[in-house]
């Protein structure tokens, strides 16, 4: 977990990871069991939450519910395809969501008001409650890690366990310089750019990336850059 003062290095690693990772996203594995315990059925659906229709994927029938929270511009499928495929379907019920304005949770178009992390956290928790999960765990990376931390802080009675990585508690002026370095998506590597353009189209991807840079940069103006 990120500590105050360690944000710059974590953010740099996050950006480098974002620019180099494949469309498969992270490759974390949890409690793998023999292949015979893996199912291939993945439900893909939408449910209305807080006035928007959020897309999610769900698989497995285990008693331990887990929500997967993607990073910047990501979706459940792009960031957690390996987990949807390979996590133990008998031990876990796995849900991967697309935050509003990302992936298949469009409309609405993505925007970044001052409270966008709090909004995502509320959406995530309310989604799981709409799906009738009384208690669940969170796995989040990058922006999804920040969202998970806020969701757990606001709803400790609902969260069983949590794993976050690449999340940061604050934004510094040096971090803003790093963010602006990825504003122009034409400078991204083809490996990083292609899955985003396939999912969003070039225009939406480009505009949303620039909006994200502005959205995350606004925290640098808060006391100690606090998110």
The whole-angstrom separation of Cα 91 and Cα 33 is 9
CB count within 10 Å of CB 187 equals 10
Measuring CA to CA, which residue among 8, 226, 27, 64 is closest to residue 141?
27
Q: 207 φ, ψ to 5°?
A: -65, -40
Buried b (16+ CB within 10 A) or exposed e, 78-91: bbbbebbebbbbeb
- What's the pLDDT tens digit per position in 113-145? 999 999 999 999 999 999 999 999 999 999 999
The pLDDT confidence band at residue 83, using thresholds 50, 70 and 90, is very high
Which uninterrupted H or E stretch holds 154?
helix 143-154
Among the CATH numbers 2.40.100.10, 3.40.50.300, 3.90.660.10, 3.40.50.1820, which is that of 7-169? Answer: 3.40.50.1820
The whole-angstrom separation of Cα 153 and Cα 124 is 13
The whole-angstrom separation of Cα 87 and Cα 40 is 11
Q: Which two tokens stand for residue 85?
A: 């495929």
Which residue is associated with the tokens 């400790």?
156
Residue 40 is predicted with a pLDDT of: 61
Domain ranges of the chain: 7-169
Task: Report yes or no: 185 and 209 within 8 Å, Cβ to Cβ.
Answer: yes
Note the pTM of the prediction, 2 decimals: 0.83
Q: Using H for helix, E for strand and C for coil, what is the string for 162-218?
A: EEEECCCCECCHHHHHHHHCCCCHHHCCHHHHHHHHHHHCHHHHHHHHHHHHHHHHH
- What's the pLDDT tens digit per position in 97-117? 999 999 999 999 999 999 999
Share of the chain above pLDDT 70, in %: 82
pLDDT at residue 205 above 90? Answer: yes
The pLDDT confidence band at residue 200, using thresholds 50, 70 and 90, is very high
Q: List, as one string, the DSSP characters of 46-107.
A: EEEETTEEEEEEEE---SEEEEEE--TT--HHHHHHHHHHHS-TTTEEEEEE--TTSTT--S
Residue 19 is predicted with a pLDDT of: 46
Name the average pLDDT for the chain: 87
């Amino acid at each position: 977990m990120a500590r105050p003062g360690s944000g710059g290095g974590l953010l740099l690693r996050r950006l480098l990871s974002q620019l180099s990772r494949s469309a498969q996203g992270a490759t974390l594995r949890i409690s793998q069991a023999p292949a015979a315990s893996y199912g291939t059925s993945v439900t893909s659906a939408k449910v209305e939450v807080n006035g928007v229709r959020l897309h999610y994927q769900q698989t497995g029938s285990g008693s331990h519910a887990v929500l997967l929270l993607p990073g910047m511009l990501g979706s459940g499928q792009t960031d957690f395809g390996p987990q949807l495929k390979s996590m133990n379907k008998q031990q876990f019920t796995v849900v991967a969501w697309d935050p509003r304005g990302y992936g298949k949770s469009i409309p609405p178009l993505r925007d970044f008001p001052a409270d966008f992390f709090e909004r995502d956290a509320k959406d995530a928790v309310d989604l799981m409650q709409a799906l009738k999960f009384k208690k669940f765990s969170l796995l989040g990376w990058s922006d999804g890690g920040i969202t998970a931390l806020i969701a757990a802080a606001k709803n400790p009675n609902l969260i069983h366990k949590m794993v976050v990585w690449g999340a940061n508690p604050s934004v510094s002026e040096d971090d803003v310089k790093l963010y602006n370095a990825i504003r122009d998506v034409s400078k991204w590597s083809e490996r990083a750019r292609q899955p985003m353009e396939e999912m969003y189209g070039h225009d939406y991807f480009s505009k949303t990336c620039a909006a994200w840079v502005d959205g995350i940069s606004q925290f640098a103006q808060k006391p100690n850059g606090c998110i």
